[in-house]
Chains A and B, each alone.
Chain A
Amino acid sequence: MKIRTLEQLMALEQELCAARDRKPCVRVCGGTGCRARGSEDVLARFQTQLREVGWAEAVDLKFTGCHGLCERGPLVSLTSPEVFYQGVEADDVPAIVAETLVRGVVIERLLAHDPMTGQRVRREQELPFYRRQQRVVLRFNGVIDPTDIREYIALGGYRTLGVVLTRLTPEEVIEIIERSGLRGRGGAGFPTGKKWRLARAAPGARKYVICNGDEGDPGAFMDRSVLEGNPHSVIEGMIIGAYAVGATRGIIYVREEYPLAVRTLQIALAQAREYGFLGEAIFDSAFSFDLEIVRGAGAFVAGEETALIAAVEGRVSEPRQRPPYPVQRGVWGYPTVINNVETWANIPIILERGPEWFARLGTATSKGTKIFSLVGKVANTGLVEIPMGMTLRDLVEEIGGGALPPREIKAVQIGGPSGGCLPKALFDLPIDYESLTEAGAMMGSGGLIVMDDRTCMVDVARYFMDFLRDESCGKCLPCREGTHRMYELLTAMCEGRATDADLELLEELAQVVKETSLCGLGQTAPNPVLTTLRYFRSEYEAHIRQKRCPAGVCKALIRYVINAERCTGCVACVQPCPQQAISGQLKQPHLIDPERCIKCGICHEVCQFGAVEIV
Chain B
Amino acid sequence: MQEIEAIIERYGAQRRHVISILQDIQARFHYLPKDALMEVAARVRIPLIDLYSIATFYNCFSLLPRGEHVIKVCLGTACHLKGGTRLVEALERELGVREGELTPDGRFSFETVRCVGACALAPLVLIDERYYPKMTQRKLTQVLARLRRARQAAEAVP
Query: A: which residues have CB within 8 A of B?
Result: 32-33, 35-37, 70-71, 215, 217-221, 224, 256-258, 294-295, 297-300, 311-317, 373, 375-377, 381-383, 413, 416, 447, 449, 451, 455, 460, 463-464, 467, 471, 473, 576, 578, 600-602, 605-606
Contact = CB atoms under 8 A, between A and B. Distances in A.
Nearest to A473: B57
A449 B114 CA distance: 15
Contact of A218 (B17, B76, B93, B133): B76
Contacts of A377: 81-82
Contacts of B136: 605
A381 B120 contact: yes
B120 A578 contact: no
Given A218-B115, A257-B116, A601-B86, A314 B121 contact: no
A575 B133 CA distance: 24
Chain B, interface SS category: helix
Contacts of B53: 316
B153 to A, nearest CB: 24
Given A314-B18, A316-B53, A578-B90, 5 more contacts: A71-B120, A219-B119, A313-B16, A314-B14, A314-B19
A48 to B, nearest CB: 22
Most buried by B among A36, A70, A312: A36
B23 A256 contact: yes
Interface in B35-50: 50
A313 B15 contact: yes
B34 interface: no
Contact of A447 (B14, B15, B77, B90): B77
Contacts of B120: 33, 70-71, 373, 375, 381-383
Interface string B108-126: 0000011111111110100
B54 interface: yes
A33 B121 contact: yes
Contacts of B50: 315-316
Closest 7 CB pairs of A and B: A298-B59, A219-B77, A36-B131, A218-B76, A297-B58, A70-B120, A218-B115
B44 to A, nearest CB: 9
B78 A449 contact: yes
Given A218-B115, A605-B136, A298 B89 contact: no
Most buried by A among B22, B113, B137: B137
Interface size class of B (residues with CB under 8 A): 35 or more
B58 A375 contact: no
Contacts of A35: 131
A336 to B, nearest CB: 14
B137 A298 contact: no
A46 to B, nearest CB: 21
Contact of A295 (B20, B116, B121): B20
A59 to B, nearest CB: 28
A600 B16 contact: no
A315 B115 contact: no
B127 to A, nearest CB: 12
Contacts of B60: 256-257, 297-298
Contacts of B15: 313-314
A576 B136 CA distance: 12
B80 interface: yes
Most buried by A among B61, B114, B131: B114
A221 B118 contact: yes
Contacts of B19: 294-295, 297, 311, 314
Contacts of B117: 32, 215, 221, 224, 257-258
Contacts of A297: 19, 22-23, 54, 58-61
A600 B89 contact: yes
17 contacts: A33-B133, A71-B121, A218-B115, A221-B118, A257-B116, A297-B60, A314-B16, A314-B18, A315-B54, A316-B57, A376-B77, A381-B119, A463-B77, A467-B114, A600-B86, A600-B137, A602-B138
Contacts of A295: 19-20, 23
Contacts of B23: 256, 295, 297
A220 B76 CA distance: 9
Nearest to A470: B114
Contact of A606 (B77, B93, B116, B138): B138
A294 B136 CA distance: 36
A220 B120 CA distance: 9
A445 B136 CA distance: 29
Nearest to A261: B117
A258 B117 CA distance: 8
A600 B79 CA distance: 16
A266 to B, nearest CB: 13
A375 B90 contact: no
A312 B20 contact: no
